[in-house]
Amino acid sequence: MKIFHGKGTCSLGILVIMEELGLDYEVATVDLANREQASPEYLARSPKGKVPLLELDDGGFLSEWTAIGAYLAMAAPGPRLLPRDALGLARTLEAVEYLVATTHMQGFTRMVRPALFAPDEADLDQVKARGREIVDQGLALMGERLAGRDYVTGDFSIADAALFYIERWMAHSMGTTLPEAVNAHYERMLGREAVKRALVRGE
């Protein structure tokens, strides 16, 4: 099994999941700065040109963070990282989707790549500010979710790996002070051995 990973990207969360599951896998680093994701070789694997990308043992490929995380959690032996009950599963995927599709893609992306959302340079600061609002709202909601619990849905799950990579960006890369409960979650995650291994392999 191989994971195509871009340094400093959401792929870090997938590495956390793989380490938590104790999987034997290879990391292939994609040079995003030099647009390797747009090369013919990479597009032959994934026409979307995105990371993370999981190469399966049968030679097939799987893309999109939520799909990869859910597949690994369901298919791999080891700790259960998705609830068994229907509502618990839905709540976990609900949190993952919000973190990945909204907090990350709509919020953080506006903060670091505002030109994608506004062709006029005069509007870039406004776009960045709106992105920060979206991220702050997402972290505040996660803080409410974490009140009185260690992990997003109670037990450790793929939702915690999704939250962790955003926490890592904001606290480590951006120097942001996280909401109290979110920061406690971040510190808790940093103490997990699987997370320590993922950071070594991913950064």
Same domain, 114 and 179: yes
Entry pTM? 0.94
Check residue 7 and give its pLDDT. Answer: 84
Same domain, 27 and 67: yes
Check residue 148 and give its pLDDT. Answer: 92
Q: Is residue 69 a part of any domain in this protein? A: yes
Instruction: HSE, CB side, 13 Å, CA atoms: give it for residue 61.
Output: 16
- What confidence tens digit (pLDDT) does each residue in 106-149 have? 999 999 999 999 989 999 999 999 999 999 999 999 999 999 99
**Domain final position from 60, 80, 100:** 80
Residue type, 57: D
137: CB partners within 8 A, 6+ apart:
103, 107
Check residue 179 and give its pLDDT. Answer: 96
Check residue 6 and give its pLDDT. Answer: 87
Residue spans of the chain under pLDDT 70: none
**Residue 60 is part of which domain span?**
2-80
**Domain final position from 62, 80, 98:** 80
| Contact between 74 and 82 (Cβ < 8 Å) | yes
Tell me how far CA of residue 74 lies from CA of 101, 150, 191, in angstroms: 21, 22, 25
**Domain final position from 80, 112, 139:** 80
Same domain, 129 and 93: yes
Q: Is residue 47 a part of any domain in this protein? A: yes
Check residue 77 and give its pLDDT. Answer: 83
